[in-house]
Amino acid sequence: MILDQKHARLQKLFRQFAETEFTKEILDRLDETGEFEWDIFRKMARYGFCGVKIPKEYGGAGGDYLAYALLVEEFARVSPVLSIYANTSNSLGGGPLMLAGSEEQKQTYLPPVARGEKIMVFALTEPGAGSDAGGTTTRAEEQPDGSFIINGRKTFISGAPMADWCILFAKTDPTQKGSRGISMFVLDMKLPGVSCGKPEHKMGIKGYPTCDLVLEDVHVPASALVGRKDKGFGYAMQTLDGGRLGMAAQGVGIAQGCLEEAIRYAKERKQFGKPIANFQAISFMLADMATETEAARQLVYHAAQLKDAGKDAGQACSMAKYFAAEAANHVAYKAVQIHGGYGYINEYKVERFYRDARIVPIYEGTSQVQQMVIAGTLLK
């Protein structure tokens, strides 16, 4: 597709920001310490990146899915982890409230999240409930006054250590089997009984801490319930639909970043008396990388357009996420290959891209889950 002027302008803004602000110094520090960089997050917030897709009436910029996809793509092209910084509020953090929140909940939570003053994260996965999110065992027991007492453990919760609030899924009706009887809550992370585990040592995406979330007799008011009781699983799936699009865009950004690095290196590196780009073995790899990246990009933009047009985009989002996540890994693999031994060294950008790419076919629905979704729709 050809971007219209508004989206082309947004793309220019995102690219300019990422290329200028995501300095080598910051990227190295993120990778080395694994710690959250507040300064760059605040700078993103200042320009409205945290609220790209949040409607204007709730403090956001009121952009569409395509704008959001462009943001994640352009940021990921320079830094996959920093693309997550601006992503969460627009997808898994703010998404559930936009989807099912009451007017009061939207007014309370969305504006500070859109402005980047508060951080909202998403807690679905449990040690025993990953792809099978219906296996949720975290329990929210309703009290006679309508409030809830929550107990359980969530795992791999990205952003939990910095979060002010979290969207939490817990079983409210254990008599209902599987994915039924789960409800969605907005949880204040400062409530007594809420604690975070030690940040995980991850392969990539370092600098956006991920940890367990432990809930021990956490007392939440009735007003913390988002949407209808026992219907939370549906909300989770719909939110992940949009989230998938973001992570697909991240895959495209990573692939594009790898491609550019590989081209640069192939023209510069000389072996047998000429640049390695002059060898067909290398140039054909580049051709494959560029083709796969572009195909992934078109799937992502198309899925975004479908969503923006209000059409059913579940299938398209799954295809985009599946293809782009795999493409990111194929392209990162080849980019490292073209770099040879240097690609295995930390100093070179492709080494980090390679590690960062590996999570994309795993989080927000593995490639296999996307295949299930796609096949499920085909065989319905």
Partner 1 sequence: MKIYVCVKQVPDTSGVVAVNPDGTMNRSKMPTIINPDDLNAMEAALTFKDQNEDCKVVAISMGPPQAAEMMRELLAMGADEAVLISGREFGGSDTFATSQIVAAGIHHMGLEKEDMIFCGRQAIDGDTAQVGPQIAEKLHLPQVTYAVDIQKDGDTLTVRRALEDGYMKIQVQTPCLITCIKELNEPRYMTVKGVLECDEMPFTILDYEALKDEPLIEADTIGLKGSPTNIFKSFNPPVKGVGMMLEGTEKEMANDLAARLAEKHVI
CB of 269 to partner 1, least distance (A): 7
User: Alpha-carbon distance 321 to 325, whole Å?
Assistant: 6
Burial class (CB in 10 A: 0-12, 13-18, 19+), 370: buried
| Closest-CA residue to 159 (of 186, 199, 191) | 199
Asked if 25 interacts with partner 1 (CB under 8 A), we say: no
User: Alpha-carbon distance 136 to 289, whole Å?
Assistant: 39
CB of 254 to partner 1, least distance (A): 22
Asked if 6 interacts with partner 1 (CB under 8 A), we say: yes
Binding residues for partner 1, rule CB under 8 A, total: 21
Asked if 152 interacts with partner 1 (CB under 8 A), we say: no
Per-residue interface string for the shown chain with partner 1, residues 51-70, x marking contact by CB under 8 A: xx---x----xxx---x---
User: Alpha-carbon distance 356 to 328, whole Å?
Assistant: 10
Which H or E element spans position 70?
helix 65-78
User: Alpha-carbon distance 18 to 82, whole Å?
Assistant: 9
Region from 22-30, 44-52, 192-200, 250-258 binding partner 1, contact rule CB under 8 A: 44-52
**For residue 184, which phi and psi values (nearest 5 degrees)?**
-110, 135
Region from 32-40, 42-50, 124-132, 304-312 binding partner 1, contact rule CB under 8 A: 42-50
Per-residue interface string for the shown chain with partner 1, residues 268-307, x marking contact by CB under 8 A: xxx-------------------------------------
Region from 5-13, 156-164, 274-282, 366-374 binding partner 1, contact rule CB under 8 A: 5-13
Q: Which is nearer to partner 1, 29 or 229 (CB)?
A: 29
DSSP string, 180-223: TTEEEEEEETTSTTEEE-PPP--SS-TTS-EEEEEEEEEEE-GG
Per-residue interface string for the shown chain with partner 1, residues 338-367, x marking contact by CB under 8 A: ---------x--------------------
Per-residue interface string for the shown chain with partner 1, residues 234-273, x marking contact by CB under 8 A: ----------------------------------xxx---
CB of 149 to partner 1, least distance (A): 40
CB 166 within 8 A of CB 184: no
Residues 6 or more apart whose CB falls under 8 angstroms from that of 282 comprise 266, 276, 338
Asked if 13 interacts with partner 1 (CB under 8 A), we say: yes
Q: At what angle do helices 80-87 and 24-33 cross, to 10 degrees?
A: 80
Estimate to the nearest angstrom the gap between the alpha carbon of 8 and the chain centroid: 22
Q: Which of 74, 126, 292, 364 is catalytic?
A: 364
Q: Which is nearer to partner 1, 16 or 176 (CB)?
A: 16
In this structure, how many other beta carbons lie within 10 angstroms of the beta carbon of residue 355? 18
Asked if 48 interacts with partner 1 (CB under 8 A), we say: yes
User: Alpha-carbon distance 104 to 55, whole Å?
Assistant: 15
Estimate to the nearest angstrom the gap between the alpha carbon of 181 and the chain centroid: 26
Q: Give the β-pairing of 165-171 and 120-123.
A: parallel
Asked if 49 interacts with partner 1 (CB under 8 A), we say: yes
Q: Which is nearer to partner 1, 170 or 336 (CB)?
A: 336
The number of C-alpha atoms within 13 Å of 319 and in the hemisphere containing its C-beta is 20
Confirm whether 141 is a catalytic residue: no
Q: Which is nearer to partner 1, 143 or 346 (CB)?
A: 346
CB of 152 to partner 1, least distance (A): 37
> Which of 5, 38, 103, 177 is close enough to bind partner 1 by CB under 8 A?
5
| Residues making contact with partner 1 (CB under 8 A) | 5-6, 9-10, 13, 16-17, 47-49, 51-52, 56, 61-63, 67, 268-270, 347
The catalytic residue positions are: 364
